[in-house]
Amino acid sequence: AESMMIQSDKLSIAGQLAAGIAHEIRNPMTSIKGFIQLLRSGFGSKEQYYEIISSEIERIELILGELLILAKPQGIKFERRNIRVLLSQVITLLNTQAILNNVEIQTDFRDQDMDVECDENQMKQVFINFIKNAVEAMPGGGMITISTRSLEGELLIDITDEGSGMPEDILSRLGEPFYTTKEKGTGLGFMISKKMIEEHRGTVEVKSKPEQGTTVRVMLPAVYNAAAI
């Protein structure tokens, strides 16, 4: 019964995605077509049309890039990893972008003796997505706190920002494919991350208050690592 449920769950996500993809790609396509016609007509500013066409193509590339991550499960390899090491690598990767946005990332890693069984690339992708959202929620800069601790055989990882937060209507649509409030957003990052965590038998919880910030909590089954003490 369990595998049946997983199967039908996947189908509905695929169905939702297919409808979304068609829509999300048709819009920039229509616009590209229109501007090519304008170019042909010789009317108006050529340079501006080229600008728009290339930014619409970039948008399609961005969407396809995120979808390809989702469509690549054959490369998944579950290995035992220390989540603090993994998080530190992700933070190093994002630090330049954070600094450019006046964002500081601080860590509070507790319970050093817990590891997780995970696909390293997927797990990194998940935290990249969540931390990017935290950075993007603080256009004026601020602090992101990433903390870890263990609780009853689970590892809790909190990503807390002091950003815009989310009102109830946005919060309830979070994770819906292609739902975004950003001009350059895809609305895929959260959904993909949540799905990846669930494939690791984990869960994602979000607490958010408008103007007060957001905490994304990832919970994963933990493995005790005596060697780490």
Other residues' Cβ atoms within 10 Å of the Cβ of residue 187: 20
When CB distances are held under 5 to 8 angstroms depending on the partner's kind, the choice from ligand ADP, Mg ion, none that residue 196 binds is none
By C-alpha distance, which of 69, 57, 3 is closest to 31? 57
Q: Does 144 bind ligand ADP (CB under 6 A)?
A: no
Closest by Cα among 201, 227, 36 to 119: 201
166 binds, among ligand ADP, Mg ion, none (CB under 5 to 8 A by kind): ligand ADP
In angstroms, the CA 19 to CA 147 distance is 37
Q: How many residues bind Mg ion (CB under 5 A)?
A: 2
**Contacting ligand ADP (CB under 6 A), which of 190, 202, 218, 222?**
190
Closest distance to ligand ADP from the beta carbon of 56 (Å): 17
Calpha distance 42→114 (Å, rounded): 65
Angle at 61 between CA 56 and CA 63, to 5 degrees: 95
Q: How far apart are CA 188 and CA 17, in angstroms?
A: 10
CA distance 20 to 63: 11
Report whether 213 contacts 106 (CB < 8 A): no
Q: Which is nearer to ligand ADP, 31 or 180 (CB)?
A: 180
H helix intervals, the chain: 2-41, 46-70, 83-100, 120-136, 168-173, 189-199
Residue 185 binds ligand ADP, judged by CB under 6 A: yes
Q: Does 161 bind ligand ADP (CB under 6 A)?
A: yes
Q: Is 193 in the site for Mg ion (CB under 5 A)?
A: no
Residue 155 in the binding site for ligand ADP (CB under 6 A): no
CB of 199 to Mg ion, least distance (A): 19
Regarding 46 and contact with ligand ADP (CB under 6 A), the answer is no
* Cβ distance to ligand ADP smaller for residue 142 or 221: 142
Q: Which residues bind Mg ion (CB under 5 A)?
A: 133, 189
Q: Which residues bind ligand ADP (CB under 6 A)?
A: 129, 133-134, 137, 161, 163-166, 170, 174, 179-182, 185-191, 214
